[in-house]
Structure 1
Amino acid sequence: MDSQFAALLRRHRAAAGLTQEELSEGSGVSVQAISTLERGTRRYPQLSTVDALAEALHLDADQTAALAAAASRRGKSEKPAPKPSLAASPRQLPFASGDFTGRVREMELLTNYLTTSKGVSVTAITGMGGIGKTTLAIHTAHQVADHFPDGQLYLDLRGFGIGPPLEPLDALTYLLEDLGETPPVDLATATARFRTALAGRRMALVLDNASDQDQVRPLLPGSGGCAVIVTSRRSMAGLGGRQFQLGEPPLEESIEMLRRISERPDAPEDECAEVVRQCGGLPLAIRMAGARLASRPTWPVAHLAERLADGRRRLDELQLDDSGVRATLVLSIEQLAGSDDPIDVQAVTMFALLGLSDSVDLTSALAAALSDSPEPEAVVVLERLVDVHLLATPGPGRYRLHDLVRVAARELADQMLSEQDKAAANTRWIRRVSAVVWKASEYAGHGVTRDGWLDKEWLIGAQDLVNQDDVLNWLDNERANLVGIVQQAAVDQPSLAVQLAVGLNVYYAVRRAWLEWLQVNEAVLRLVSGGPDRIAEGLVLHDLGAAHAELGQYEQAVAPLRRAVDTADASGDGNLQALCLSSLSHVLERTGRTTDGIPYAERAREIGLRLGIPPRAAWACLALGMLYLKTGMPKSARRHFDEAMELLVEPGLEKYRGMIAQNVGVAYREAGQYEVAGESLRESLKLYRTAGAAIPEAEVLNELGRLRLAEGRYDEAIAAQSEGLAIAGQYGDWLVEADIRKSLGEVHHARGHLPEARREWRIALSIHEQHDAHGAAALQQLLRGT
């Protein structure tokens, strides 16, 4: 443990804001001697050395006597020192930086709490390293100093720094000496004496850089009108009092801070904003960036922004001498690594593993796969990283790395993990996602081609998800990351990327996440184009075209679907051929090229019949019927619609017949043939009810409502759609609920009931925005138009 003299000398030098070199120059004591004394290697300096140091540090008589006593082998000064008066008022707050900017709201809240609390007030300011905890604490303490006339104490508890944290007894020794008390040798007596010394006094204590609440608890006053401000990178919830988790300041405050420190009050706002963004809004990083600009007056702000954009050297740009963002973050990591708690040690490895992921939102499932540990154990380790503010938690079960912390995590991964370790961790995660994706596909039915292409081993790893809801909920939780996972895998693990993209069609169709479906297939298209696996290429091309079509981008869908047809022909997979031909014919129909679409639908029908796959032939017949209806050939259309229904007469196919009837009804409604449309939609409703398909039943009730709207039968429209809305609510299908509310709004609008229309559209828009579903833009346009 450090000698008492070493700790006192360091503390007085830090409070004076002097380097060892500056203290040497002022005292005449060599730098080497000062360094030896501060390390505790030399414990008992000569009195002349103590006096020289005290004079250079501008210590008062009491402080000089305490320093001399610490330097004496007998533990007391060699010359009599006057007994400090109990009325002495220590003023130990460090220098308050003149470039302090912002934090207006935080200062107001803290000041109000500290000055209005009855009895002892305890405020814990917590947050990640570099967020500005100490700066805020010191400025707040200066702000309220007049409210605490008996003085202010400041002590760095060294919770995160070089060397071990300050022991509570050592901390109390310093505090008691500063109060003119004789420190006892045991913690219990020291705590009691400290509380006695503070009783009846109004003092402010800043306990900076605490390691944990156990270190702080013995240092709290027992009664009286004192205020305590604790800063720490760990949670201090166990202390009671006010917990104040410090986050990033607003952009305008950050820009003002950068301008002030860089001495560029007129620096372009957009360039400053970009530097702040690259700094992740972290005050320490902004301070480093401002100092770099101040020392390089010829640099434009935009130049520094460009340098910071290179993630590989961002921390280098934000480092000055032995201080900076990297050094600050490393202290948190080293404190965990040096802990006796095995959870802390595991947290270091977990931190490095999290740096491997590009995902914005990190989940316990991801952490479990990366660390190859059970998910409940991974959660415990993740929460420890939250406790030391290396991770943020934006919501239950979700975690996030600050941009600069992510860079530090990647650097740690490079130091700790071999390339084989990194690859293995990423592979475990992608295989886990793939297993769940293909499990979702299995519940919905892969389809003939995908089922034949699937390797059953891909499903291994999702056995813990026992039903379809579990699978969909798991994917919903990871949805924000799925596109990024495929994109990253396309670089590192191409075969797994293709596996994922092809399997995601079912999940994205269920959630109607068409843009994301488009993005994952774009990410892997180059990996399959012209390759040996023509089925994979055909599926990716088909899904790419289908995603464009679902987004209403029919013209963009034509080219990939034409390529898909050619690739399917080359693969020899008849089902894939029929699938691609039917989809291409549908897209051509939607672009008005109905005549061009008929030969493709005819081929799809012929292949489906030849292969004995009734659903495939039925969908081709449906496409043909739509094409003939558009070309003014109603008899041919009716014949193919009837054939589609007749192909699905086997028991158990009622749901598929209902889908055909629903599409036929919509086609006739769009053609203005409302009576025939009604017959088909009612037949669809009957089939869905027979099959027990509740959500499709709600969808067809919505289509019936839209038909009644077209006929001007508003009450019947509202009745049908209200029934569908009740079913959607009962089964929790938010997408169908949003569709029906949009349609209900259209009925109210047609009746001239604008408030009711806007209400339904606003609810539907809220649902779309909450779930990031395609369709929000159309609702926004409806609301703007009313």
Structure 2
Amino acid sequence: MESQFAALLRRHRTAAGFTQDELAAAAKLSVQAISTLERGTRRYPQPATVDALADALGLDPDQRAALISAASRRGKTAAAHSNQSTPPAAASPRQLPFVSGDFTGRVQELSALAEYLTSGSGVHVVAITGMGGIGKTSLAIHAAHQLADHYKDGQLYLDLRGFGIGPPLDPLDALTYLLEDLGETPSADLTVATGRLRTALAGRRLVLLLDNASDQEQVRHLLPGMGGCAVIVTSRRSLAGLGGRQFHLGEPPLDEAVAMLRRISERPDAPEAECAEVVRQCGGLPLAIRMAGARLASRPNWPVAHLAERLADGRRRLDELQLDDSGVRATLVLSIEQLAGSDDPVDVQAVTMFALLGLSDCVDLTSALAAALSNSPEPEAVVVLERLVDVHLLNTPGPGRYRLHDLVRVAARELAEQMLTEEDRAEAKTRWIKRLSAVVWKASEYIGHGVTREGWLQPEWLEGADDLTSQDDVLLWLDVQRSNLTPTLQQAVVDHPEHAVQLAVGLNAYYALRRAWLEWLQANEAVLRLATEGDDRIAEGLVLHDLGAAHAELGNYEQAVDPLRRAIVAAEASGDGNLQALCLSSLSHVLERTGRIAAGIPYAERAREIGLRLGIPPRAAWACLALGMLYLKTDAAEDARRLFNEALELLVDPGQERFRGMVAQNIGVAYREAGQYDVAAEALRESLELYRAAGAAISQAEALNELGRLCLAQGRYEEAVEYQSEGLAIAGQYGDWLCEADIRQSLGEVRRAQGLLAEARREWRIALSIHEQHNTHAAGPLRALLNSA
């Protein structure tokens, strides 16, 4: 155990803001002498040395006496005490460190701390926790200074060294320092020392600032038992079990962060946009902003925008935010080293997990992702993730979801490169991609691959998803991971191109079910180069088709034409007739939507011919449907009816009721758009009956919604409401939020037609909230609808 003099000297030097070199110069001693004293190699310096140090540090009489006492441990203290005829006067310590002149903002936090620490009676304990560099100590010191008038018996400050070089301060040593600073006699027994401290504090009103605690156990013995003291504890680790009030400190608001940067950089008029970009690159972390401001202050000819450009390079961002041996990297390393040196195996596992998380580009770091990266069971991964949350290397925006601060992510990547081999990193990423691909293809299997995808699928791609035993399980899993799908795919294009196309093609079914058209578009754009430059023409055709289909679903019909034409060429080269017919049908639909009816007919005719020749009824039926819709727009009503009937007659085999219902529904919509309401009603009622026969509940809700839209077009508003209310009940029963949003939007249109604008806006607001919650492209048009109504 280090000497009390060494620890006390280091604490006073740190509180005064001196380096060892600066203290040596002020005390007119050698740097080696200061280093020797702080290491404890020289435990009992001469009185003249102690006086010189006390003068240089500006210690008050009580602090000077405590330092002298610690320097005369061999018996001089005991002798001095034995010669005293009266007990020493109670000390009134004033130990708070200097208040930084660049402290900015935190107005709400300071107000909340002051309100809590000055209200009522008794002991007030507050724990300020957060990641390294977030400004816990600065806030605590500032708050303690503001409380000086309320707590007139002084302020004690003690660095518990929970996260730093060397071991955390032992509770008994901490008690010794505090008792000496209060003019009390220490004890070598922890229980006795704890009691003496509580006795000493019971009759006083002072602020006790316990900085940089390692955990709550280190702090428990240092808390007053009664009286009117305030205790402020700071720590990177959660102290929820300590009692009192917990303050989790996050990033300051942008305006406060910009003001801090301007003040530290000595550029009060620096452009706000450029300052905001520097703050963004710093992740809003006060320590990083302070480093950035200091760098600008020392380089007065640098524009703020230049530093922002340098910080934009993630590979050297931490280098830019480092000054000497202090900075963001050094601060984060202390948290990691504290975990690595722990006796708790979960802490040690957390270090490896932290490095593995740095391998991922995903914003939401779910427990499933962590389990795959670490090759561990998901419940075990959750325990380790929560430990990283406890030490504020991770934050958790919601249950099962975790995030890395931008600068912490950079540190995690650096750690991954240092402690994991290239092979280990590649294997971890591959495990996640394979897991994701297996679940995606299992979803496709439940929903229906389609003939081409099923033939292209390799059985081993489904391996690794056996724990998800139902369609609901699979879809729920993917819903949780949804924000990770595109980043993982984009990362796979670079790291594992052999898996990227496989994953993108498999995503078709899930994205189509969730109508995530923009994400579907991004997925296929990400792998387009791989697919077109590879040797697999089926893969190329599928990616190009899905790219065109995504554009079409987003209403970008002109942009859909070129990829669909290229998809037809790839399909022909592959020899897959089904894929060729699919692409031909899709192109004919897009051309029909752009008004190029005559140009679309030959493509639909070719698709029909291929489907009939290959004996694939669904493909031929879909082509007949597309061709009939084209003819309907050329006023060739009889040809359209013939083709619609042919499409339905191709789907008479048992098990095809749902697909036949889809064809009938599309026929009904086409006739409604053409203004042939009686024929439309007949087709839509037929689709409803077919869906009921197939047990397709959500499809029934969709057909009911289309019947409601038909009634709206006919001016039969009450019937429309009946149909859509029935559909809404089904959607709610089965939890299909997209179907519910669609029906509510349609119901709002009916209410507006009835003159019930308030009810219409209510339905649209609910629909908008659903789309916003699930991040669909339909949110924009709904906002516009609400703004115009």
Is the pair's TM-score, using the shorter chain for normalization, greater than 0.5?
A: yes
Q: Quote the residue 1:184 is aligned against.
A: 187
Q: Quote the residue 1:602 is aligned against.
A: 605
Deviates more, 1:6-15 or 1:387-396: 6-15
Query: For 2:65 and 2:765, how far apart are their aligned partners in 1?
Result: 73
Q: Quote the residue 2:135 is aligned against.
A: 132
Is residue 92–residue 152 contact of structure 1 (8 Å, CA) maintained in 2? yes
Q: Quote the residue 1:303 is aligned against.
A: 306
Q: Quote the residue 1:68 is aligned against.
A: 68
Give secondary structure in 1 for the equivalent of 2:183. coil
Query: For 1:67 and 1:123, how far apart are their aligned partners in 2?
Result: 29
Query: For 1:276 and 1:62, how far apart are their aligned partners in 2?
Result: 43
Counterpart of 2:730, as a letter, is I
Q: Quote the residue 1:226 is aligned against.
A: 229
Q: Quote the residue 1:265 is aligned against.
A: 268
Q: Quote the residue 2:167 is aligned against.
A: 164
Task: Choose which of 616, 622, 640 in structure 2 pairs with 1:613.
Answer: 616
Query: For 1:530 and 1:770, how far apart are their aligned partners in 2?
Result: 37
Counterpart of 1:129, as a letter, is G
Task: Choose which of 209, 214, 236 in structure 1 pairs with 2:212.
Answer: 209
List aligned pairs for 1:260-409, cutoff 5 A: 260-409=263-412
Give secondary structure in 1 for the equivalent of 2:149. helix
Kindly provide the CA deviation profile for residues 152-191 of structure 1, in whole angstroms up to 9, marking residues without a partner as x. Answer: 1000000000000000000000000011111010111100
Q: Establish whether residue 735 from structure 1 lines up as the match of residue 738 from structure 2.
A: yes
Aligned-pair distance for 1:77?
4.0
Is residue 63–residue 93 contact of structure 2 (8 Å, CA) maintained in 1? no
Is residue 86–residue 179 contact of structure 1 (8 Å, CA) maintained in 2? no
Query: For 1:650 and 1:333, how far apart are their aligned partners in 2?
Result: 64
Query: For 1:117 and 1:403, how far apart are their aligned partners in 2?
Result: 40
Aligned-pair distance for 1:16?
2.4
Q: Quote the residue 2:59 is aligned against.
A: 59
Query: For 1:451 and 1:303, how far apart are their aligned partners in 2?
Result: 53
Task: Choose which of 654, 659, 662 in structure 2 pairs with 1:656.
Answer: 659
Counterpart of 1:520, as a letter, is A
List aligned pairs for 1:663-702, cutoff 5 A: 663-702=666-705
Counterpart of 1:249, as a letter, is P
Aligned-pair distance for 1:598?
1.3
Aligned-pair distance for 1:335?
0.3
Query: For 2:279 and 2:254, how far apart are their aligned partners in 1?
Result: 8
Is residue 356–residue 426 contact of structure 1 (8 Å, CA) maintained in 2? yes
Kindly provide the CA deviation profile for residues 292-336 of structure 1, in whole angstroms up to 9, marking residues without a partner as x. Answer: 111111111111111111111111111111111111000000000
Q: Establish whether residue 767 from structure 1 lines up as the match of residue 753 from structure 2.
A: no
Q: Quote the residue 1:645 is aligned against.
A: 648
List aligned pairs for 1:336-735, cutoff 5 A: 336-735=339-738
Is residue 512–residue 773 contact of structure 1 (8 Å, CA) maintained in 2? yes
Give secondary structure in 2 for the equivalent of 1:504. helix
Is residue 171–residue 219 contact of structure 2 (8 Å, CA) maintained in 1? yes
Query: For 2:747 and 2:73, how far apart are their aligned partners in 1?
Result: 89
Give secondary structure in 1 for the equivalent of 2:76. coil
Aligned-pair distance for 1:78?
9.3
Is residue 84–residue 180 contact of structure 1 (8 Å, CA) maintained in 2? no
Q: Quote the residue 2:198 is aligned against.
A: 195
Is residue 291–residue 322 contact of structure 2 (8 Å, CA) maintained in 1? yes
Is residue 122–residue 242 contact of structure 1 (8 Å, CA) maintained in 2? yes
Distance 1:79 1:95, change over 3 A: farther
Q: Quote the residue 2:780 is aligned against.
A: 777
Query: For 2:15 and 2:521, how far apart are their aligned partners in 1?
Result: 60
Task: With the length of structure 2 as denominator, give the TM-score of the two structures.
Answer: 0.98
Aligned-pair distance for 1:118?
2.0
Counterpart of 2:53, as a letter, is L
Query: For 2:76 and 2:177, how far apart are their aligned partners in 1?
Result: 15
Is residue 62–residue 92 contact of structure 2 (8 Å, CA) maintained in 1? no
Distance 1:63 1:509, change over 3 A: same
CA root-mean-square deviation: 1.2
Q: Quote the residue 1:241 is aligned against.
A: 244
Aligned-pair distance for 1:418?
1.1
Aligned-pair distance for 1:723?
0.7
Query: For 1:758 and 1:62, how far apart are their aligned partners in 2?
Result: 71
Query: For 1:537 and 1:65, how far apart are their aligned partners in 2?
Result: 82
Query: For 1:350 and 1:78, how far apart are their aligned partners in 2?
Result: 52
Q: Establish whether residue 27 from structure 1 lines up as the match of residue 27 from structure 2.
A: yes
Aligned-pair distance for 1:690?
1.1
Is residue 352–residue 413 contact of structure 1 (8 Å, CA) maintained in 2? yes
Task: With the length of structure 1 as denominator, give the TM-score of the two structures.
Answer: 0.99
Query: For 1:394 and 1:403, how far apart are their aligned partners in 2?
Result: 15
Is residue 62–residue 84 contact of structure 1 (8 Å, CA) maintained in 2? no
Give secondary structure in 2 for the equivalent of 1:609. helix
Aligned-pair distance for 1:774?
2.0
Counterpart of 1:331, as a letter, is L
Is residue 69–residue 75 contact of structure 1 (8 Å, CA) maintained in 2? no
Q: Establish whether residue 108 from structure 1 lines up as the match of residue 106 from structure 2.
A: no
Gaps of 5+ in 2: none
Query: For 1:62 and 1:293, how far apart are their aligned partners in 2?
Result: 41
Deviates more, 1:693-702 or 1:36-45: 36-45
Distance 1:75 1:559, change over 3 A: farther
Aligned-pair distance for 1:268?
0.6
Kindly provide the CA deviation profile for residues 651-676 of structure 1, in whole angstroms up to 9, marking residues without a partner as x. Answer: 11111111111000000000000000
Is residue 62–residue 93 contact of structure 2 (8 Å, CA) maintained in 1? no
Distance 1:218 1:439, change over 3 A: same
Aligned-pair distance for 1:478?
0.7
Kindly provide the CA deviation profile for residues 498-532 of structure 1, in whole angstroms up to 9, marking residues without a partner as x. Answer: 01000000000110000100000011010011421
Query: For 1:121 and 1:222, how far apart are their aligned partners in 2?
Result: 11
Counterpart of 1:10, as a letter, is R
Kindly provide the CA deviation profile for residues 396-447 of structure 1, in whole angstroms up to 9, marking residues without a partner as x. Answer: 0000000000010011011011111110000000000000000000101111
Aligned-pair distance for 1:73?
5.0
Is residue 254–residue 281 contact of structure 1 (8 Å, CA) maintained in 2? yes
Counterpart of 1:760, as a letter, is E
Is residue 206–residue 229 contact of structure 2 (8 Å, CA) maintained in 1? yes
Query: For 1:394 and 1:227, how far apart are their aligned partners in 2?
Result: 31
Query: For 2:449 and 2:376, how far apart are their aligned partners in 1?
Result: 30
Give secondary structure in 2 for the equivalent of 1:228. strand
Give secondary structure in 1 for the equivalent of 2:186. coil
Aligned-pair distance for 1:86?
3.9
Query: For 2:56 and 2:100, how far apart are their aligned partners in 1?
Result: 22
Distance 1:353 1:84, change over 3 A: farther
Q: Quote the residue 2:9 is aligned against.
A: 9
Is residue 68–residue 78 contact of structure 1 (8 Å, CA) maintained in 2? no
Q: Quote the residue 1:758 is aligned against.
A: 761
Give secondary structure in 1 for the equivalent of 2:247. strand
Q: Quote the residue 1:45 is aligned against.
A: 45
Query: For 1:86 and 1:764, how far apart are their aligned partners in 2?
Result: 72
Gaps of 5+ in 1: none
